Structure 1
Amino acid sequence: MAAERPYKSTPHTRKGATTTFGSRTDIGCLRDHNEDSLVVTPPLFAVADGMGGHAAGEVASEIAVNVLAERAPAHPDSEALGRAVEEANRAVIRAAHEGRGREGMGTTMTAAMLEGERLIIAQVGDSRAYLLHQGKLQQLTRDHSLMADMIEAGQLTPEEARSHPNRSVITRALGSDPHTQPDLYEINVETGDRLLICSDGLSGMVCDNEIESTLARVRDPQRCASQLVNEAIANGGHDNVTVIVADVTGFAEVRRKKMARKTKLSIALVLVLFAAIVGGAAWGTNEYLHNAAYLADDNGKVAIYRGVPGDVFGLTYSELVESTDVSVSDLQPGFQERLKEGWRVDSVEAAEALVKEYREDIDAKSKPAGDEAANADASAADAAGSTGGTHDANPPAPANSQGGAA
């Protein structure tokens, strides 16, 4: 085994769930080789702490993790994961019989599968799994060790067990009994929780409250794994140290992507509606500008324009249709004032009708008064002739009132 096998804390996506993780293994300060092995292939994470001396413990742990990685299910299944650990146990025993490693070699195995918000664990030995939940650390697995048995029996306190001369004695391991079975755990976790799997090189050198503090403080899982190893080494590093830190993100990434898609759809819908409104407004404005008209003074003459007078947003929307023969000076003063700024009407036809009224009014005012009297006499004569009877143009003179003929 290499002395150190760190893994980057890059997201690993599988079946819609995203797991962010980090890991590190270190030889420690006192050992001359590293007997720990690990697996970090989400959703599978595992730590194996080998035993049996040089060319034995590292062989047992590596065989175990290799078989586990081959036989583990693709998705969390506690029974299937348990069978994979049992097969790893048989593989270690076969290897010893075949001369790979040594007789009596063995290894711990704590394997976990984390997918979505579901966690399963299969465990043999004293490598531990912890969960940081809402800032509080809890040990998920029970050590298969003499110290754990004595603590449960009330013979030792956890503090006394940390310095007990038999603290490294374990009661169950892979490689010793072909019938060894792992303890299985099925745990519902929550987004924001943090999983820690470690060999006893960490848990034996760093107190749980210090582990809790580091897990809560260092948010990047790779930096957190490295920091925990550094703390174990700083406290003496009496054993190999292996640490895996995996964040429970559940389906937060899936929800984020769904929300992002909904946001994009909402934005697209708003843009479509906005475009429709702008387009409708532009169409309506164009129709209005195309149909609207106004009258204005064009060098002293009344002119008809299509559009609107002045500027709209700095642009001019007007087109000369006709400069009429109607003089502005012939109009009433009120009309002349209105023409200075542009007299708006609904359409060119309405403008032409106004011009026609102006022209008729001007023509009526320009006729002389004598012409009006003559026209009135002619009208009266025409009326008399229409009443009937015959009249001589030159009536006879009246008879001499004295009688007799001349």
Structure 2
Amino acid sequence: MKIRDLWTEALAGLLARPVRAALTTLGTVLGITTLVVTLGVAATAGNQIVGRFDELVATAVTVEVPEQKNAPLVSWDAVSRVTRLRGVTSAAAVAETKDSANLSVRSNDLIDPTRVTAQTLSVLASTTDLPQAARGRMVSGRFFDAGHVRRQDRVAVIGDRAAKLLGVGSLKRAPAIFIGKHAYTVIGILGELRRERNLSMAVMIPPSTGRQFGLRDVTRVLINTSLGAADLVSRQAPTALSPGNQDLLQVIAPPSPIRARDKAQDDVNALFLILGLVSLVVGAVGIANVTLVTVMERVSEIGLRRSLGAARRHIAAQFLLESTLTGLTGGVIGASLGVVTVVAVSAAKQWTPLLDVRLALAAPLAGAVVGLLAGLYPALRAARMEPVDALR
């Protein structure tokens, strides 16, 4: 049997039952479409995730300052040197200790045994740029400035959640809070924090008045950078903060956006790849089932061909080619639908579509392989038929 004759016979076998062939191909179409859509949308979504990832996490750098018994490693005015670095948008220094993390704070000096008037809150000292560094907003009032720090004014800014616990709502009458035995005037409420959300349950005071609570030295520096500058700033910030002692500072830099994209893409792939494989298995089972039914329906044809001189390999090759053509057709249609779906989803989400051309070209080949494997058993069964038994 020539290759041309084999191709003609296989094509005629498919076109003889077009509805059945179309339904059989549908399983492979769904499987290939799912695979192409999965990998295409995963790549596109991974790239989009990086674009949103850098908005907060990828631009936040934190420098941890260990405690020193002698001279402090970082001075309060060292933050001004960090803000001069290229790519730094805002920075603030914070002092917080274990003892100041659990101080008794109350909104009045009246002791009422019938109600709880004191709250255990975190008290910390900071520079004047803390709202920008914490990416928050003054809900009410204002943050203390350099004048408050220089005059050692007993003023405080409290977080929005701490304000609710203390019953501080309006600042028109300059309410006071008591940290231990010391009274502080509340001049502002800080809220809507996108970074350092624990500040919503904290009391912030100027560094000049924090010594009585052990808040003398800087323990942490918060730095915000522009997009793409976090890696460079994380290497330069320790030297700017403490020249000569930069190795003692611990820098917490954001992870690489490339690693974030790859991880997000891998997660999406792992989630949806299983669905694509299941669809391919369903399509393969459908091809195998229909091919086997076709073999049983064409027993007389197989017997006639064998009696006229067709060898076993000719029969097997004919049915294998039919199943392979079915899978190839499903692969071509599925790849086309997958590409169109990826572009449509990207357009609906206003994303930039990313699709590997090799995937679109390999999808039809994958469909052909699925069809070949699915038709293996029915083709072998057809080839094993004896001419006499088939004709009988």
The answer to whether TM tops 0.5 is: no
* Higher RCO (CA-CA < 8 Å; seq separation 6+): 2
**TM-score in terms of structure 1 length:** 0.32
**TM-score in terms of structure 2 length:** 0.33
Structure with the greater alpha carbon radius of gyration:
1
**Larger fraction in strand:** 1
